[in-house]
Amino acid sequence: MAVVTYAGGQELQEKLIVRPTSETIICNMYAKWLQSYRDLPIMMNQWCNVVRWEKTTRPFLRTSEFLWQEGHTVHETEEEAREMTQKMLEVYKEFAENCLAIPVICGRKTEKEKFAGAVETYGMEAMMLDGKSLQAGTSHYLGQNFAKSFDMKFLSREGVLKYGYSTSWGVSTRLIGATIMAHGDERGLILPPVVAPVQVIIIPVAAHKEGVTEKAREICEQLKKLGVRVKVDERDMSPGWKFNEWEMKGVPLRMEIGPRDIENGQCVLVRRDNHEKQFLSLSSVCSIPELLSSIQKEMLETSRVNRDARIKVSDTLDGIKQGCDEGNFVKVCWCGERECEDKVKEYAQATSRVMTDEPCEHEKCAICGKPAKKKVYFARAY
């Protein structure tokens, strides 16, 4: 936690503690508002900046202050609260996969890795291009833990006072970092079309020749009408310079149009994700939205194939270390003991990411050899 001791030019008489999460203020208010089962469920979402003490910061991934979204709910029953926890995990997963084109692995965190106040924490883990894992979102089932600490009680349908069941969940600007690191290459960003601020950049070639700029603007208007986020780059720079700049910014599609293209009734399209170049007839410009959506799908698919190729299975501590050294996630049978997790951390510098639902009866813990209880992904993480 960050503790403010000095502010407004003087040392504070009372230290100010900046909390990293809001359960305390939220639950304080919920306890006041909540009276009857008719008040339930309560759901609040807030966008706010949080401060977390980080000794080593990394742009977008670990910063002392960051913007996030945090949701807090209270429910009448355990079942409803558990359902909400899963539902939000699913919402985050859909967003990561369908909008950011990042395939994620979702699952429950181990006792060691869960949020301290939670009964259960679920996480979604994304593999970055270097094979390290990034925790990209979490959803917590809090049970009655906070309800008991904050006296969050309600009159039930049966007329007795009961503690509510709560959840909390969040994602942050870290997802921007995830998008950059999951798709970039040595030329710069590669943005999925769904979230790219500019989806198509039109670059006139030999713009001084008659009719070129006009044609570029005409296509731009046509695409705008189709709902495409598009721009014509009319700046006084060489086309090559512009190509590089827009590549660096990750624009999914580049359209080049010059006098000869116009003569031939076509333009050149270059995809940012796979550098593929194609000629498009000017009468087929209306097919561009379709092309953008197939780029979106292919980016997710490519990431999924790359990720799956780097999920290894091991039944030894050495295997876990080697797997992580080579930039993989390693799936491991585990006895459920913290001691074994600590050993992996010490020996392979890897942490448990999430547990799977896969059965592992009759199998042995890769670390201690005792009967296994769970299959877990281990990886180095940001």
**What residues make contact with Zn ion under the rule CB under 5 A?**
335, 340, 365, 367-368
Nearest CA to 187 out of 273, 256, 128 is that of: 273
Nearer to Zn ion, 134 or 360 (CB): 360
The CB-of-356 to Zn ion minimum distance in angstroms stands at 16
The smaller minimum CB distance to Zn ion, of residues 166 and 352, is found at 352
CA–CA distance, 292 with 286 (Å, rounded to integer): 11
Partners of 60 in beta bridges: none
Closest CB 195 distance from Zn ion, rounded Å = 41
Residues 6+ apart with CB under 8 A from 229: 196, 197, 198, 199, 200
* N- to C-terminal Cα separation, the chain: 19
**Choice between 179 and 352, CB closer to Zn ion:** 352
To Zn ion, the closest distance from the beta carbon of 314 in angstroms equals 14
Smaller CB separation from Zn ion, 59 or 369: 369
Burial class (CB in 10 A: 0-12, 13-18, 19+), 110: buried
Q: H or E element: which one contains 119? A: none
The contacts of residue 52 (CB under 8 Å, 6+ apart) are: 1, 2, 20, 64, 66
- Which of 124, 85, 249 lies closest to 183, judged by CA? 249
In whole angstroms, the minimum distance from the beta carbon of 367 to Zn ion comes to 4
CB of 340 to Zn ion, least distance (A): 3
CB of 270 to Zn ion, least distance (A): 52
Of 27 and 340, which CB lies nearer to Zn ion in the complex structure?
340
Nearer residue to Zn ion within complex by CB, 268 or 313? 313
